[in-house]
Amino acid sequence: MFDVLVYLYENYWRPDACPDHAQLTRKLSAVGFESDEIQEALNWLDGLAGAAESYVGEQGANSLRVYSRAEQEHLGEASIGFISFLESAGVLPPPMREIVIDRANAISGGSLELEDLKIIVLMVFWSLGEEPDALILDELFVDEADRLIH
């Protein structure tokens, strides 16, 4: 599913540039994605679109997010730490954080990998028509093992 999401991000500059589901399914199939992977991604994107529509401005600057035990187990320490990093950097306001957490929880299975969470964050920015700044894009795209230390 995450490969489909990355493909959409790279090929459609905003969500409303995507064709309807039927045409998009045909295009994604032609590129080589499996039908179950496509359906899972499209269902996930429908949930993201709903969350993006309900996106409202800022919550209180001093708001504090307490993660439930289930969220802690599903997201994992690395993902929660990354979300906190984005919040402290001032690029992930509380309402966007909640969309990220909601969409992360919509992924079935065990603990979420940090790389998958980064794709979710990227897709949340994409769905809201916002471009993260260059340093944040670097955090979202560059694997830590590929970073050069100067």
pTM (2 d.p.): 0.85
Q: In this predicted structure, what is the pLDDT of residue 62?
A: 67
Q: Mean pLDDT, to the nearest integer, of 46-65?
A: 77
Q: Give the C-alpha separation, 77 to 133, whole Å.
A: 25
From residue 125, alpha-carbon distances to 25, 54, 83 in Å are 23, 14, 14
- How do residues 107-144 score in pLDDT, each as one tens digit? 988 889 999 999 999 999 999 888 877 667 777 765 55
